[in-house]
């Protein structure tokens, strides 16, 4: 079973992402959804996800803060930034994090899912 964490303060975006992955990935998936990056950071080592989809712009703790503080106590998950920002500075900054596999723009599309989960 694939373990997937979605961190996004927009529940509609999280819902759409979960449904799209569920429909297009053959393996069963268990989702953990967080509207707070701070709460996700506290619980993530207990979950040990294989995949993590992270929004950047969130209140209290943003995606960059999460990445700076995230120290996995297990094998690194594949982290994908899923953001509505198309700012080149964000895309460039994301590439500086070794743990970030790719920067994807919202909404997640079928083509990306096939690449991520193949």
CATH 3.40.50.2300 fits 2-116, yes or no: yes
User: Using one digit for the tens of pLDDT, what is the confidence trace for 15-71?
Assistant: 999 999 999 999 999 999 999 999 999 999 999 999 999 999 999 999 999 999 999
| Three-class secondary structure of residue 15 per DSSP | helix
Average pLDDT over all residues of the chain? 94
Answer whether residue 113 shows pLDDT above 90: yes
Please give the pLDDT value at position 50. 96
The model scores a pTM over 0.85? yes
Q: Across the chain, how many H-helices and E-strands are there?
A: 5, 5
Return the domain boundaries, the chain. Answer: 2-116
What are the phi and psi torsion angles at 116 (to 5°)?
A: -65, -45
- How many whole angstroms separate alpha carbon 17 and alpha carbon 22? 9
Q: How confident is the model at residue 78 (pLDDT cuts 50, 70, 90)?
A: very high
């Amino acid at each position: 079973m694939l373990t997937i964490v979605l961190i996004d303060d927009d529940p509609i975006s999280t819902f759409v992402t979960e449904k799209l992955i569920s429909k297009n990935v053959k393996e069963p998936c268990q989702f953990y959804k967080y509207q707070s990056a701070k709460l996700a950071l506290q619980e993530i080592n207990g979950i040990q996800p294989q995949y993590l989809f992270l929004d950047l712009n969130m209140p209290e703790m943003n995606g960059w803060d999460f990445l700076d503080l995230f120290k996995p106590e297990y094998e690194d998950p594949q982290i994908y930034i899923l953001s509505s920002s198309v700012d080149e500075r964000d895309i460039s900054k994301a590439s500086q994090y070794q743990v970030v596999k790719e920067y994807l723009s919202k909404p997640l599309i079928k083509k990306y899912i096939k690449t991520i989960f193949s």
